[in-house]
Chains A and B, each alone.
Chain A
Amino acid sequence: MRILAACLLLLGGAMGARGAERVVNIFNWSDYIDPRALEDFTRETGVKVVYDTYDSNEILETRLLAGSAGYDVVVPSATFLQRQIKAGVYRPLDKSKLKNIDNVWPEIAQRLARYDPSNAHAAPYMWFTTGVAYNVAKIKERIGDKPIASWEQVLKPENLRKFADCGVYVLDSPEDMFSIALNYLKLDPNSKEPGDIRRAADLLSGLRRHIKKFHSSEYINALANGDICLAIGWAGDSFQARNRAREAANGVEINYVIPQEGTLMSIDSLAIPKDAPHPDEAHLFIDYLLRPEVAARNTKIANFANGVAASRPLVDKEIAENPAIYPDAATMKRLFTVTAPDQPLQKVVTREWTRVKTGR
C-alpha cells in the first residue's frame, strides 16, 4: 500500500503546476490540516496551494533524498528532520519573513532545538504522545474498574495476556516502542547502546504472542469498529478512533491515556527543502500556519496539540482541556524526546525490531 501511495505521489508531484501564477507545493501527512484553511490562504494571498499527502516519514524521506521532489513545504517528524538536516536536505528558515514565529510555544521550540540547533531549519507544527488506547467496556470486563494507568499493565506479558483474546495492536515503530520499553526498564529512553536496545527488544519479544498485529494506522479503524480492545498508539489517531466510533454510534467507547511513567513526545515540524521551487511562498505559508487562529483550526481537525501557544484559548474546549492532548505541567515533565540513531545503530534497531515482530 505504501508503494502504491508512493507511485500516486510521484504522479501528483510531476503534475504540480509551474506557471507564472504564484504556487506553493505542500507535502503533508494525511488528515493533518483544515482544508478550508487552505482555501482561505489562497483567497487571502492569491497563492495557489498544490497539496499532496503521505502516510509515513519514510516515504517523505525517500522523496527528499532522491532529490528534486518539487515540494516547498514538508512536515517531517523531528528525528527524521535531524537526519535530513545532516544530509543537507533543507534550507535555513528566513525568520525575517516569519512575523508569527514569535507565537511558537517556547517549550516545544526548545524541545525541537534538540534536533535542529537554534531552530534554524524548522518550526513546530503539531506534537503528540504515544500512549495506550482502549475499548472501555472490554477492558472493564477483563480487569475491572481500575483503569489503565501504568505501562506495567501492558508491557508485562502476564498482564497483556488478559487482553490478547479481544485483540491487541502495537505501533510498527521501533522509535516509539524501544524508547518506551527503555524508559519502563529505567534505562535512558534515548540510549544509543546496542546492548540497551537488545534489552528493550527482549522485553517486547516476550509480548509478541499476545499481539495481534504491529501496524501504525490500522488500529484507528480496528478500535473504532470494536475489532480490537487495546492499542499502543498515538494520541491524535486514538481520538480519531473515538470520534469515528461516536459518529457510527456503534456503542464502542474509546479512551486514551498517557501512562504514569511518562512516554515519548513526538514533534512534527514545518521545513523547506533546499531545492524548493517557491521559497517565498513557502515562508508565506508557514507564517500563515503559525497564526493562532489557523493553528487552532488545524488542531480541531487533527486532534493534535499544535506548536503555537497563543492558539490554546481558541481551541475547542473538548480538545484544549483534554489532558491527553494538552497534558498538565507534571505530565509534560515526564514526556521524553529521542534523537535519531546513526546508520550502524539504525541497522541494529531495525534488525532488533524485526526480531521483536517475527521472532527471527
Chain B
Amino acid sequence: MQEGGKRRRLTRGEMLVIAAPYAWIALFFLAPFALIVKISLSRPAQARPPYEPVFDGAGLAGFFEKLSQLGLDAYRGLAEDSLYLDSYLSSLSIAGVATLVCLLIAYPFALAIARAPRRLRPVLIGFAVAPFWTSFLIRVYAWITLLKDEGIINHALMALGLIDAPLPMFATSGAVVVGIVYSYLPFMLLPLYAAIEGQDASLREAAADLGATPFQVFLHVTLPLSRRGIIAGALLVFIPSVGEFVIPDLLGGSDTLMIGRTLWNDFFANRDWPAASAAAVALLALLLIPILLYERAQLREGER
C-alpha cells in the first residue's frame, strides 16, 4: 500500500510473479482437494473407480442427475463411529506432546547457536541439519534398534544394573513421540534461530542496564521477541505430525490410534474411498483452525 492509501496498479511483470504461486496452489492443492471433496460426497461401489457416481462427461442432463446423487453419507459415517473422534484426539495429543517436547529441546539449542560467535553459527546450523542428509526412513528404523527390548538402550541399562527386565519402549505411543521429535526437530530449530538471531542486541543491553537479571532479560525481552519463531516452529512441527503415518507405523504399537492409520484402513482395507476422503477433509478443516488463528494473530500484530 502506498502513502495516502491509494492503490498503485500492478505492472504486468508483478502480476506474473504474484500469479505463479497462486497457480501452483490451484494446480497442486486446490484441484486435488476438489477431487477429494467430490469423492467424499460419493458412495462406495464395487467398480473401477470404486465409487459412484463417476462424472465421465455424459452430457449435461446426465451431469445434473449425477450431481443429485452426491450426498453426505460419508460424513455421517464419521460422526456415527467414535473411532474417528478417538483417532483425531489421539493424533492431536501425540502431535501436541511432540511439538511441546520439540520446543523445549530446540529453544536452548537455538539460543546457544544465536549467541555463538558469528563465524561459528553456520557450522552449528549445519550440524543441526546434518541428519537430513540420511534417508528419513533409515533414521526412523535406527530408532527401532535403539528402543526395542533387545536394543542398545535396554542392554546398556541392564548392564548398568539400573533395570532387571527390559523397559517396553518400542511399539508404544512414547516411541512415536520420540520419532516425531527426532524427525521434526530442525523444523522447530530453524525458525527459532531466525527469530532469536534477528533480535536487536541493544534491547537486551538496555534491560540489563536498567537492572534486569539475565533470567529477567530472557523472560521479558528475548522470549516475547521470539514469539513468532515459536508459533512458526510449532505449526511446522504440529501440522505434519497430526497426519503422520510412517513414524507410527514403524515405531508405534498396534494400539497407537492415529488418524493416518484409520484413514489407511478406510482407503485400503475397506476400499471405501468416500469415507477415507471425508476423514481427510475433516482433518484438513481441523488443521486449518490453528493456521487461521495464527494468521489472525499476525494481522493484528501488523495493525499495531
Chain A contacts to B: CB under 8 angstroms: 1-4, 56, 58-59, 61-62, 64-67, 83, 86-89, 165, 167, 172, 174, 208, 211-215, 225-227, 343, 346-347, 350-351, 353-354, 357-360
Contacts and interface: CB of A to CB of B under 8 A. Distances in A.
Contacts of A360: 82-83, 86, 257
Contacts, number: 88
B165 to A, nearest CB: 8
B272 A347 contact: yes
A153 to B, nearest CB: 21
Contacts of B47: 87-88
Interface string B124-160: 0000000000000100000000001110000000000
A213 B250 contact: no
A359 B255 contact: yes
A214 B261 CA distance: 13
Given A58-B269, A346-B270, A350-B270, A358 B48 contact: no
A81 B256 CA distance: 31
Q: Which of A3, A61, A350, A353 has the most CB of B within 10 A?
A: A350
B38 interface: no
Contacts of B49: 65-67
A215 B270 CA distance: 18
A1 B257 CA distance: 17
Q: Interface size for chain B: under 10, 10 to 19, 20 to 34, or 35 or more residues? A: 35 or more
Contacts of B272: 343, 347
Contacts of B137: 1, 4
B250 A1 contact: yes
Interface string B43-58: 0101111100000000
A1 B252 CA distance: 13
7 contacts: A1-B250, A2-B264, A62-B267, A227-B149, A343-B46, A343-B271, A346-B271
A64 B268 CA distance: 12
A354 B268 contact: no
Given A4-B137, A212-B171, A346-B271, A358 B255 contact: yes
B81 interface: yes
B81 A1 contact: no
B48 A89 contact: yes
Nearest to A227: B150
Contacts of A359: 255
B253 interface: yes
A350 B261 CA distance: 12
A89 B137 CA distance: 33
Contacts of A65: 48-50, 271
Contact of A227 (B48, B148, B250, B256): B148
B134 to A, nearest CB: 15
Contacts of A351: 81, 83
A62 B257 CA distance: 23
A64 B48 contact: yes
A54 to B, nearest CB: 12
A86 B47 CA distance: 8
A67 B48 CA distance: 7
A335 to B, nearest CB: 24
Contacts of B150: 225-227
A83 B268 CA distance: 13
